[in-house]
Amino acid sequence: MRRLRRYGWSRRLVAENRLHPADLILPLFVLEGRGRREPVPSMPGVERLSVDLLPAVAERCLELGIPALALFPVTPPERKSEAGEEAWNPDNLVCRAMRHLKDRLPEIGLIGDVALDPYTTHGQDGIVRDGVVVNDETLTALARQAVCLAAAGCDVVAPSDMMDGRIGAVRGALDEAGFDGTLVLSYAAKYASAFYGPFRDAVGSASALGAADKKTYQMDPANSAEAVREAALDIAEAADMLMVKPGLPYLDVIRILKDSFRMPTFAYHVSGEYAMIKAAAERGWLDGAACMDEALLSIKRAGADAILTYAALEVAARLRERG
């Protein structure tokens, strides 16, 4: 077995999986204002950016071969409400960002999150009645949000709310509004994970959520067969792509879904996964670049066709240097 491992060229020749910039999607946090950039303390190297600063990042992505961005708004507190109505305001922050980017760089792919948590005062992904996140009333809101995003130039709407029936509701609303070409990326297996903490800090939903959790609608980390049922329902409702979130703690789920359905399958290398590597590297406990590359390659090996990662720019730059 060691003969094939002896030389760099032979290792490259027989490598079973390769990571490529075209496999990566860069998530971006969008701020109100102009010329603003704010570091996210719990995510070293990540910044919140105002709309006018986004095209420069998108240009760098295209230069490196990264095909798409996923936008997440930092909604000002005064724009939040119990029902999250700002989510379907056609002039909300993320819609303005979508239009700004598409006007300047129409070739970049734009992915829009469909969930109410950036817009609700309680931080939940849906509408709350008597302490319960209600399913069907939330679907109506999500459908309006998806159409609003599509009208702003969003290429891929990504329902991440984990309400039952959301894919069918979103797909039907898009088709009825004339956006039958808009793709739907379903967060088919989104777990009630402890790895989301830095993301919630970045978008400002952590303080709103407080001590509450999302375990009544996001998946139990103990389960994997349940993910197959979730994905099958979403495929039947016309999802174009599936997502597993988080990535590294759920490599088995990525593989199960890929083998079960042979659908385009994405993974989200989430904020906590990213922050762990960055924090350990800052302390000199590990080689941050090598560990980041290995982590993403393992997600690719598990069956992911694309990976959302905050490390997309740095990883793509390293891949280009290696040729």
Name the active-site residue from 190, 258, 278, 300.
190
Question: Per-domain residue ranges for the chain?
Answer: 21-322
- Closest residue by Cα to residue 214 from 249, 186, 190: 190
Q: Please name the residue ranges forming H helices in 81-157.
A: 93-104, 135-151
- Is residue 214 annotated as part of the catalytic site, yes or no? no
pLDDT confidence of residue 207: 67
pLDDT confidence of residue 213: 92
pLDDT confidence of residue 204: 74
- Closest residue by Cα to residue 196 from 140, 247, 243, 238: 247
Q: pTM of the entire structure?
A: 0.95
Structure tokens at 204: 């400002």
The C-alpha atoms of residue 202 and residue 299 are separated, in whole angstroms, by 24
* Average pLDDT along the chain, 323 residues, taken 10 residues at a time: 95 95 98 96 96 98 98 96 96 98 97 96 95 96 98 98 98 98 98 93 76 92 98 98 98 98 98 97 98 98 98 97 85
- Is residue 245 annotated as part of the catalytic site, yes or no? yes
Instruction: Name the strand (E) or helix (H) holding 11.
Output: helix 8-14
Domain boundaries 21-322, corresponding CATH code: 3.20.20.70
Name the active-site residue from 80, 214, 245, 278.
245
pLDDT confidence of residue 206: 67
The C-alpha atoms of residue 129 and residue 127 are separated, in whole angstroms, by 7
